[in-house]
């Protein structure tokens, strides 16, 4: 089949084999056709409204040592911080009440201070604000996930990063791919919406493994998928490597939209870090979510996952008002509901 036939098949059936995915991912001439198809399917299944999720990066302290990430524990150049519970709540209140955001995302490295008791306390307090609440705080036990759910959390983000187990074990020393997969299963069992995702362009990651990644998203029936290019960080072991491209990241994202047509897909900050219009391009290639950062500027620069991340976020372009204008400029509007995954397939 030529690429147009494959795209038509994906639009109509929401299924492609691994070989077919590999064929589209390696074809350098099909990007625009793929982006347009994903844009059409996005409109059909989740509509023109964009969901804004207010992101609070409440601590950059992490016990893990992921080779790609600026927050890894061996990066001693980084100033570490942890917000107080009052500071976290004040940010959430500002986002909900003044900015009108309907979802709050609490994200942190894997630190030990915010244990189950402290997290549940914060969750309960934020849930008084009439918002949906997403957590992105790493690998926990099933009973912790259940406790968060009981406290009022609605969703959880935990990227699988790659489904290539050897690559995962090389890049995430001391961690286990199987344990991470178990966490995704446990999140589902706990009744939370499950968000996962990958980086594109990791050293040693090939097209075939990205095809596996997309099939994995479908297999675990993910509610949300975040995809971003890998961007090398100078203070990590991967400093000398080349990063992922915007085009390939968008292609993986567009194919994810075609195969999982009704899920939530963010236009990620890493895409914007690679190109000034990266997020807008993503919104026109299958994405329907943006996660504006509502953390105070003083701390943002320390949540340094990869270069270009915090500077992107503090630029006036990325302020909420500018974001609203950008969204209007492509004929889209901002949703006023919580933006849960509404299953349609
Ligand atoms: N480039 C792009 N994304 C990164 N992440 C961590 N480090 C990098 C990097 N150098 C992503 C990972 C992680 C999420 C919080 O940030 O996918 O799950
Ligand atoms: Fe920690 Fe997450 Fe960075 Fe890994 S990717 S070092 S777990 S913050």
Q: What is the pLDDT of residues 147-163, one digit of tens each?
A: 999 999 999 999 999 99
Average pLDDT over residues 92-115: 97
**Predicted local distance difference test score (pLDDT) of residue 311:** 62
Residue 65 CA: which ligand 2 atom is closest?
Answer: 6
Q: What is the mean pLDDT of residues 20-46?
A: 98
Q: How many Å apart are CA 158 and CA 289, to the nearest integer?
A: 17
Between the CA of 138 and the centroid of ligand 2 the distance, in Å, is 8
Q: Pocket residues for ligand 1 (CB within 6 Å)?
A: 68-69, 159, 161, 199, 228, 230-231, 233, 270, 305-306
Interatomic CA distance for residues 67 and 74, integer angstroms: 9
Report yes or no: 175 and 68 within 8 Å, Cβ to Cβ: no
Domains, the chain: 3-334 (3.20.20.70)
Question: What does the pLDDT read at residue 314?
Answer: 54
Residue closest via CA to ligand 2's atom 8 equals: 109
Q: What is the mean pLDDT of the chain?
A: 96
Phi, psi of 44 (to 5 degrees): -60, -40
311 vs 225, higher pLDDT: 225
Residue % of the chain over a pLDDT of 70: 98
What's the whole-number mean pLDDT along residues 255-268? 98
Q: Which of 68, 76, 81, 110 to mutate to test the pocket of ligand 2 (most atoms within 8 A of CB)?
A: 110
The residue-averaged pLDDT of 172-201 equals 98
Q: Could you tell me the distance, in angstroms and rounded to a whole number, from the CA of residue 227 to the centre of ligand 1?
A: 10
CA-closest candidate to residue 177, choices 165, 186, 188, 159: 165
pLDDT confidence band for 173 (50 / 70 / 90): very high
C-alpha 160/C-alpha 260 separation (Å) is 17
Does residue 89 have a pLDDT over 80? yes
Ligand 2 surroundings by CB, under 6 angstroms: 62, 64, 66, 69, 71-72, 109-110, 138
Q: What span, in angstroms and rounded, lies between the C-alpha atoms of 133 and 130?
A: 9
Q: What average pLDDT does this structure show over 297-322?
A: 79
Query: What ligand has the least distance to the C-alpha of 268?
Result: 1
Span 28-41, average pLDDT: 97
Residue 317 has pLDDT above 90, yes or no: no
52 three-state secondary structure: strand
Q: What is the pLDDT of residue 167?
A: 98
pLDDT-derived band at 22 (thresholds 50, 70, 90) equals: very high
pLDDT of residue 325: 94
For the cut 90, the answer to whether the pLDDT of residue 180 exceeds it is yes
Ligand number nearest CA of 108 is 2
Closest-lying ligand 1 atom to the alpha carbon of residue 161: 17
- The minimum-distance atom of ligand 2 relative to the CA of 305 is 3
3-class DSSP assignment, residue 204: coil
Task: Return the pLDDT at 310.
Answer: 77
Query: Per-residue pLDDT averaged across 324-344, rounded?
Result: 97
138 Cα nearest atom in ligand 2: 7
What digits encode the pLDDT tens for the residues 196-251? 999 999 999 999 999 999 999 999 999 999 999 999 999 999 999 999 999 999 99
If you average pLDDT over residues 117-131, what whole number do you get? 98
Relative to beta strand 289-290, strand 49-59 is parallel
> Which protein residue has the closest C-alpha to ligand 2 atom 2?
109
Ligand 1 center to residue 76 CA distance, Å? 18
User: In angstroms, what is the span from residue 275 Cα to ligand 2's centroid?
Assistant: 24
Q: Whose CA is nearest to atom 18 of ligand 1?
A: 159
Check if the beta carbon of residue 256 is closer than 8 Å to that of residue 289.
Answer: no
Confidence (pLDDT) at 1: 83
Mean pLDDT of 73-80: 98
- Tell how far the Cα of 71 is from the centroid of ligand 1, in angstroms: 9
pTM for the whole structure: 0.97
The answer to whether residue 99 scores a pLDDT higher than 70 is yes
Q: Whose CA is nearest to atom 6 of ligand 1?
A: 69
């Amino acid at each position: 089949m030529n690429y147009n036939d494959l795209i038509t098949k994906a639009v109509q059936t929401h299924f492609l084999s691994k070989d077919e995915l590999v064929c589209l991912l390696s074809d350098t001439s099909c990007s625009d056709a793929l982006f347009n198809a994903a844009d059409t399917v996005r409109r059909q299944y989740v509509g023109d409204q964009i969901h804004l999720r207010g992101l609070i990066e409440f601590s950059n302290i992490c016990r893990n040592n992921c080779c790609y990430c600026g927050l890894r524990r061996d990066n001693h150049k980084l100033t570490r911080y942890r917000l107080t519970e009052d500071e976290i709540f004040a940010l959430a209140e500002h986002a909900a009440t003044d900015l009108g955001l309907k979802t709050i995302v609490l994200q942190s490295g894997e630190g030990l201070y915010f244990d189950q008791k402290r997290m549940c306390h914060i969750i309960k307090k934020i849930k008084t604000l009439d918002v949906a609440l997403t957590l992105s705080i790493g690998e926990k036990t099933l009973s912790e996930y259940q406790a968060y759910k009981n406290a009022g959390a609605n969703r959880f983000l935990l990227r699988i990063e790659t489904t290539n187990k050897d690559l995962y074990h090389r890049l995430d020393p001391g961690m286990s791919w199987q344990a991470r997969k178990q966490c995704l299963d446990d999140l589902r069992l706990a009744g939370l919406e499950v968000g996962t995702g990958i980086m594109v362009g990791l050293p040693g990651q090939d097209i075939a493994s990205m095809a596996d990644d997309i099939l994995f998203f479908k297999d675990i029936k993910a509610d949300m998928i975040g995809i971003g290019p890998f961007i090398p960080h100078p203070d990590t072991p991967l400093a000398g490597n080349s990063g992922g491209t915007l085009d390939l990241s968008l292609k993986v994202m567009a194919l994810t939209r075609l195969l999982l047509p009704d899920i939530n897909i963010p236009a990620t900050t890493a895409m914007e870090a690679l190109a000034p219009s990266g997020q807008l391009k993503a919104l026109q290639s299958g994405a329907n979510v943006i996660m504006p950062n509502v953390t105070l500027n003083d701390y943002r620069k320390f949540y340094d996952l990869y270069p270009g991340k915090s500077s992107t976020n503090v630029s006036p372009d990325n302020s909420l008002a500018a974001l609203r204008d950008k969204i209007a400029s492509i004929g889209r509007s901002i949703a006023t509901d919580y933006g849960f995954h509404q299953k349609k397939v």
